[in-house]
Amino acid sequence: MLTVTANVFQTELGWMAFAGNRHGMTHLTFGHETEEAALIASESFPMAVLNDLPAWWEPAQSQLIAYAAGEQVDLSSIPVDLGPATEFQQLVRERVRGLGYGETASYGDIASDVGSPGAARAVGNIMARNPIPLVIPCHRVIGSGGRLGGFSAPSGLDMKRHLLAMEQRAESLF
């Protein structure tokens, strides 16, 4: 069994917590108003103490802090370890992870892109269970016609709107 540990820290998107093992990030939660709220949310992460933090740990935290501050950061360099998944789940996660900063795609687009047209609802289910939002940027996946769908951060759709607007503002500067 892999040893996992978590870290809680403050960002401009509220308190954030992530967990991971030597292979990569396993969980992420953000948008909490207090450190205690983030700690409580992180209690659901399966974890134990790592003796030595993996090399990816500190850069990942720095990237998340920069992203939360509105910097155009590519979080795809953060390694992830989501455990066993079906081929469809893996394809969907990889496709969504490939969405660039400020880019959006519909659930239907993602389904078609991974070779399963008509599986938009299945894509939505995968995104609803995404344990590492921002790193797998499920906020960039929207419903047909621009509808936002759901979002699991504490402030839900308000946070999704905020993230999309933040990315659009940053994109317009370049």
Active-site positions? 138
* 3-state secondary structure at position 77: helix
What does the block give as tokens for 28? Answer: 């992420």
Nearest to 112 by CA among 128, 98, 92: 92
- Distance between CA atoms of 135 and 28, rounded to whole angstroms? 8
Position of tokens 């939360």?
A: 68
Nearest to 93 by CA among 108, 80, 106, 74: 80
First to last CA, the chain: 45
